[in-house]
Structure 1
Amino acid sequence: MRPNDARLALHIPRLLWTRPTLTPPVHTFPSPTAKRTTHTTMSLPAGLNITLPIPKGGETILTPDALKFLTILHRTFDKRRRELLENRKKVQAELDKGKPLTFLPETKAIRDEVSWHCAPPGPGLEDRRVEITGPTDRKMVINALNSGAKTFMADFEDSNSPTWSNMVLGQVNLRDANRREIDFAINGKEYKLVENPAVLLVRPRGWHLEETRVIIDGLPISGSLFDFGLYFFHNAAELIKRGYGPYFYLPKMEHHLEARLWNDVFHLSTSYLRLPQGKIRATVLIETLPASYQMEEILFELKEHSSGLNCGRWDYIFSFIKRQRAWKSAVFPDRTDVTMTVPFMDAYVRLLIQTCHKRKVAAMGGMSAQIPIKNDAAANEKAMAKVRADKLREVTAGHDGTWVAHPALVKIAMDIFNENMLGPNQYYVRREDVHVAPKQISDPKVPGAITEHGVRENISAALSYCAAWISGNGCVPINWLMEDAATAEIARVQLWQWVKYGAKTNTGKTITAAYLKPIFDEEAREVAKIPGVSAKNVEIARNYMESQVKAQWPSEFLTSDLQGHLEGGAVVPKAGL
């Protein structure tokens, strides 16, 4: 057993919730105990402070009752969240000392028991063969819901820059979409929902991110609880009335106790709003290396709310490098060589499909980041051929659906799945042939080379994405790929590990900070030409990336590092656990 696992398991019991009988008193700000200046005069729960003005229209989301609900979530769960984040540090320290990850011996009984299964699919989730994802701006939400995909994952996380306006008005857009009131016109063009739009799922931010513009008892609320809480409060009853339910994607988890925390949040929230239990469904992205050893345990913790697992391929590669940061053997070649068919990725995919179908839930495939290439038919056909090959690999492996980032890819993916998956899913594909050993999951051997083109591509992608993110855009087309935080993270940690371990290019050049500096100079000048990206933000991105390649260890997340550059994004000092 890992140190701290037993302590956490004992200290954090599974909770059964009823609606609290005591609720926080309400008064009008300014509070005599407030540590920051509030920018609203509405009646707020005691101890809660909003540090920026509410965006126009956001007052219908940040209502006193909704904020009271957020306060209850924060006071009930934030201490546990922080303890679980501390546990991640302990696991990392063990990995740095050479202790390998493995399947947990203390949860073997859960893996061995064949009789338990997860909840049946929620209404509208029986067939998820093509899912589209993107941020929550109004036009994107309408276009994605109208794209022909079975579902749309509205993203408050990796494809979103968490400006205050994005986080609050995104909630307005989703509320309006659920009530079929999102139609609008701009520049003479009207946007309206089709009669049968895609089913909506929402991805809140991961447990590690915080909403620094909402302070409760002197601490920022969890971004996860803020995003989930506002969406659930304003939409759960409406969705249930319409015959569906509140559906979520849960990102970045590294331990099954983090899934247990989510399950307890679901129970409390449902009871608090006096809604019927069992309507929530949550799909977990397996996008961290530690989580790949706990897939069954994660499903078990969420089983009455689970709708499966997803191969979050890009973040998984990032986590694979980051968690094995102390291992020189885990130095990768160009990121284009780290494909879904390399041994560690193939093992992870096969195990995920087997695990999900054993427990009768969806095993979702990963993202195709390609976007159409205009004015070059040959290049576009080559890119689309990659998409078709990727989707064919997924459906024949046993996946129940896949992700795309652009509406133009929906039909391509749909045609592949329609031809090869005749029923609504493939839960019957048990993959009993799969036997994945612990070492296979973390095997770092990837054929390929580090090229100067690969180095330059990483620098360009990281600078472009970070500068755009600071500018308020978290979903950026770069070289005909839709880049988000995950792909920028791969670029960042690859540059770090190449410098850390003195990796050589295929021409024999040793990669050092000095070697990278002129490439940073050249690529920063090119990124500064991108419309909507200021020279100031390019310089911030460059300084950040150059500091990262020189660091002893890479930071956990660039989104955490850079959020201080957003309005009101600086993290307040944290109280002790």
Structure 2
Amino acid sequence: MTQHTIIIRDNLKEQYSDVYTPEVLTALSALAHFNKDIKDVMGIRMERRAERQLLKKRIGFLDPETYIPRTTIKVQEAREGKFEGAIIPHDLQRQWIQGTGPAAKPNTPVESSIRNVAYALLSGADGWMFDGEDALGQISTMSLDNQRNLKLAIHKDPVFLKVAELIAAQMNRWAMDFLGRGIISNWKEQLEFTTKIFRARGLHLDDRHIRDASGVAMAASLVDLTLYVVNNYQALQKAGSSIVLYLPKIQTAEEAALWNEILTELENHLEISEGSIKVYVLVEQLEATYQLMEIRAALGKHFVGFNTGRWDYINSVSDAMAWDTSFINPNIESITMTYGYMRNYEDRVRRAVNTPDKHGNFALWQGGMEPNIPVGSEAGVSASMEKALAGAAREQREGASGKWVAHWKMVHIVRPVWEKAGEANQLGRKFPPLSYSQQDADGLILIEPAPTTIRGARNLLSVALQYGNAFGQGMQAAALKPADFFGNDDILYLMEDMATGEIRLSILWEWIHKGAILTEDDPQTSTKSGDVFSMDLYEQLMKEEYEKLLQADNKDVYTASKTSTLPIAREIAHVYIHSGVKPPWYIDLLNINLNNMDLAEAKKRITLYMNAFKENGKRITENLDFVNSTEAVRSL
């Protein structure tokens, strides 16, 4: 019997024996040695960040004569396409619309929780990215519920099929009312249409339930990858489907190369051919945009495409430029994909995927997120849907092969943009090759004039608080809007995930610590255009916006949360905004308070985190409720 010395907390091995199968545990043990590599690379990442802050140093392009770390590929060779990439498999050739969302709900039985998967696979989306990261709550055992539900669905378990039949009828009723037609004619056949994709958590996060043999928290990436692939690869391959992942938060080609090593070793362990696992990379970190071809090359046969989006990327730019007092983002509503640095980022991505590898293979570009939900007043829905269609049409014209939506109801609204174009994808469209000049580097941090207003600050603060509150309740995917618009059905709720919290606090931190200049008068606060956004002004807005949340009805802010998770969200925002040293991740402060409802305890944990980060640059990423003891080590 194979002996494993990974540590699983409490009785979860028995409670989730269908997820922690013997095959999974063997594979986790085989990959466990990568835990140190991941922690080392994350240490290098934080050292690089600290150096930039200290030396007031901008991110630059790599030296073309150097080798990509952990590879034998020269940077210049990667830029010229002198590497072996992947042929796009059949079920990724057409991905006009990919939906995204978690496969589980907080604190619900399987029959209810798995409804998320049924909605996704019956939606008519070409692909669905089931999220293990930004949109998946992490309270209790949600990450394991997510894996369980996906396994039940992929293996067509009767529990899932029974739910899917009921959901199909419900979806058709909505479609008849909203679209004037049904969208599902044969629900069993419809389940076969959508490509199943999984987003693992990023290298910067730890799993909440597993430690390695040394008692070190296991990197969440290793756990998510192993549980999903080992539990499902045979069923996917039997159905003729690809094994597809999204890899988030990659910052450098070195990190991509480490991912490639992990993927290859898992393939070898499972005795499947190298490159069987296909990956998209979410380009949501500024540094990655300086290394796009290098990331493609480092992932080699596994890489199929890039995804572009807004919130996480904006946050990464803000974080990378935290030292530069001249770099101040405007209202978040102004930072669209056609704004300054965002426009240049998108352009580099489309040029990178349309650069061929040595065999002439191109890669895919999946466009950004459409967060709108068609729920509200007739006028509000109409205006928002027009905006959604215009955004999709722009991305299609620019060369994206498809885009994301955050709700199944949006699939049939947005998909016609690509159906009308009629092209399966836009592989190989002609764009100028990537260049690496100082002008290119400067364009990736280009700030353009745009409004900076009190209304914008209120929006930032209100949604940041609401998101932190939702996170604490296990809803990392939440429909949100600023409190001033509660009850106004002309202003739609938007589906938001962790990225929305990250960027909103990040921009507020900028405005306060860099002295943002307001561009409009605001009678309510007696501020004038030209005034500086101060800490005192922030405190006034915090008091007012928090009070609005306390007064909101249960639909917008759960009553029970007002004395539990909402005060903790406020405390986290308070500490984050007041810190002269910008915290790297809002999610860190939320993660260490998962399953904690006590404000006094939250304050202790927040202080522990901030002191550790300020004193030695270390992030606390482990589950503080996971007691590490020798009795917990099990030979599994």
Does TM, scored on the shorter chain, surpass 0.5?
yes
Residue identity matched to 1:215: R
Partner of 2:143: 167
Paired with 2:29 and 2:199, the residues of 1 have a C-alpha distance of 21
Unaligned runs of 5+ in 2: 67-73, 105-113, 169-186, 357-361, 482-492, 522-527, 596-621, 629-636
Q: CA deviation at 1:342?
A: 1.1
Alignment partner for residue 93 of structure 1, among 42, 45, 50? 50
Aligned partner letter, 1:559 = I
Alignment of 1:429-468 (within 5 A): 429-432=429-432, 437-468=439-470
Amino acid at match of 1:353: R
Structure 1 range deviating more: 185-194 or 132-141: 185-194
Alpha-carbon displacement from aligned partner over 1:412-458 (angstroms, at most 9, x marks no partner): 321111222x2211113121277574334433313212211111111
Match in the other structure for 1:424: 424
Q: Which amino acid counterpart does residue 414 of structure 2 have in structure 1?
A: A
Q: Judge conservation of contact 2:476–2:498 (CA < 8 Å) in 1.
A: yes
Q: Check whether the contact 1:220–1:572 (CA below 8 A) recurs between aligned residues.
A: no
Query: Relative to structure 2, which stretch is displaced further, 290-299 or 105-114?
Result: 105-114
- Name the amino acid aligned to 2:534: T
Q: CA deviation at 1:133?
A: 0.2
Aligned residue number for residue 328 of structure 1? 325
Q: Which of 193, 197, 201 does residue 197 from structure 1 map onto?
A: 193
Matched residue type, 1:91: R
CA contact (8 A) 2:58 2:321 kept: no
| Preserved CA contact (<8 Å) 1:283 1:308 | yes
- Correspondent of 1:70 among 23, 28, 32: 28
> Unaligned stretches of 5+ in structure 1?
1-22, 27-44
Offset at residue 562 of structure 1 (A): 1.4
Shift of residue 370 of structure 1? 1.3
Deviation larger for 533-542 or 145-154 = 533-542
Relative distance call for 1:519 and 1:104 in structure 2 (3 A) is same
The Cα offsets for residues 187-225 of structure 1, whole Å up to 9 and x where unpaired, read as: 995567534231110001000000132122211111111
- What secondary structure is seen at the aligned counterpart in 2 of 1:490? helix
Equivalence for 1:102: 60
Partner of 2:371: 369
Match of 1:501 in 2: 514
Q: 2:558 aligns with which of 524, 531, 538?
A: 531
Question: Matches of 2:566 and 2:40 in 1, distance apart?
Answer: 35
1:395-410 alignment runs, 5 A limit: 395-410=396-411
The one of 350, 355, 358 aligned to 1:353: 350
* Offset, 1:143: 0.4
The CA deviation string for residues 487-531 of structure 1, in whole angstroms up to 9 with x for no partner, is: 111101011111111223233343233322232233223334413
Q: Hey, what does 1:84 align to over in structure 2?
A: 41
Aligned residues: 529
Alignment of 1:335-346 (within 5 A): 335-346=332-343
Q: How much has 1:475 moved relative to structure 2?
A: 0.5
Deviation at 1:49, TM superposition (A): 2.2
Moved more, 145-154 or 503-512: 503-512
SS at the partner of 1:330?
coil
Q: How does 1:209-228 map to 2 (within 5 A)?
A: 209-216=205-212, 217-228=214-225
Alignment correspondent of 2:308: 311
C-alpha separation in 2, matches of 1:120 and 1:112: 18
| Kept in 1: contact 2:374–2:381 (CA 8 A) | yes
Q: Secondary structure at the match of 1:385?
A: helix
Quote the Cα distance in structure 2 between the aligned partners of 1:90 and 1:229: 28
Structure-1 separation of matches of 2:344 and 2:515: 29
Q: Cα deviations across residues 451-491 of structure 1 (Å, max 9, x unaligned)?
A: 11111111111111111101111101012111111111110
Residue 129 (structure 1) aligned with residue 125 (structure 2):
no
CA distance in 2, matches of 1:441, 1:136: 38
Is 1:411–2:368 an aligned residue pair? no
1:447 & 1:385 partners in 2: Cα distance? Answer: 26
What root-mean-square deviation, in Å, do the aligned CA atoms of Structure 1 and Structure 2 show?
2.3
For 2:165 and 2:233, the matched residues in 1 are separated by 34
State how far apart, in whole Å, the 1-side matches of 2:452 and 2:81 are: 45
Q: 1:551 aligned to 2:579? A: yes
Q: Is the 8 A contact 1:237 1:275 kept in 2?
A: no
Specify the SS of the correspondent of 1:328.
coil
Q: What secondary structure is seen at the aligned counterpart in 2 of 1:534?
A: helix
1:232 counterpart = 2:229: yes
Q: Work out the CA distance in 1 between the residues paired with 2:623 and 2:543.
A: 28
Q: 1:108 to 1:517 in 2, by over 3 A?
A: same
What's the counterpart of residue 180 of structure 1?
Answer: 156
2:394 aligned residue: 393
What does the per-residue CA deviation read over 1:331-378, in whole Å, with 9 as the maximum and x for residues that have no partner? Answer: 11110011111121111111111110113010111111111132x111
Compute the displacement of 1:65 (Å): 3.5
Contact 1:149–1:198 (CA<8 Å) still a contact in 2?
Answer: yes
In 2, Cα distance between equivalents of 1:466 and 1:69: 35
Please list the CA deviations of residues 117-147 of structure 1 after superposition, one character each: whole Å capped at 9, or x if unmatched. Answer: 5211123111111100001111111101111
Q: Percent identity?
A: 26
Distance 1:465 1:53 in 2: 31
**2: CA distance, partners of 1:101 / 1:50:** 39
- Counterpart of 2:502 in structure 1 is 489
Question: What is the SS of the residue equivalent to 1:60?
Answer: coil
Letter in 2 for 1:407: W
Shift of 1:153: 0.1
Distance 2:560 2:517 in 1: 32
Q: Give the letter aligned to residue 38 of structure 2.
A: R
Deviation of residue 77 (structure 1)? 0.7
* Change beyond 3 A, Cα 1:402–1:532: farther
Rate the CA distance shift 1:197–1:173 in 2: closer, same or farther, 3 A.
Answer: farther
- Say which is worse superposed, 154-163 or 432-441, in terms of deviation: 432-441
Query: For the residues of structure 2 that align with 1:247 and 1:419, how far apart are their CA atoms?
Result: 27
Query: 1:115, CA displacement in angstroms?
Result: 4.8
Q: Aligned partners of 2:205 and 2:503: how far apart in 1?
A: 19
Question: Structure 1: which amino acid aligns with 2:40?
Answer: E
Contact 1:155 1:204 in 2 (8 A): yes
Cα pair distance change 1:428/1:559, threshold 3 Å: same
Distance 2:13 2:537 in 1: 45
User: Once the 2 structures are TM-superposed, how far is the Cα of residue 245 of structure 1 from its aligned partner?
Assistant: 2.5
Aligned partner letter, 2:8: I
CA distance, structure 2, for counterparts of residue 202 and residue 177 of structure 1: 13
Distance 2:242 2:310 in 1: 27
Q: Which amino acid aligns with 1:447?
A: P
Aligned amino acid, residue 542 of structure 2: F
1:149 counterpart = 2:176: no
Aligned mates of 2:140, 2:285 — CA distance in 1: 27
> Which residue in the other structure is 1:19 paired with?
none
**Cα separation, 2, equivalents of 1:263 and 1:327:** 34
Is this contact kept in 2: 1:371–1:409, CA < 8 A?
yes
SS in 2 for 1:329: coil
Paired residues for 1:107-126 under 5 Å: 107-116=74-83, 118-126=85-93
Task: Name whichever of 549-558 and 131-140 sits farther off.
Answer: 549-558
Task: Name the counterpart of 1:41.
Answer: none
Which residue in the other structure is 1:520 paired with? Answer: 542
Q: Shift of the alpha carbon at 1:95?
A: 2.4
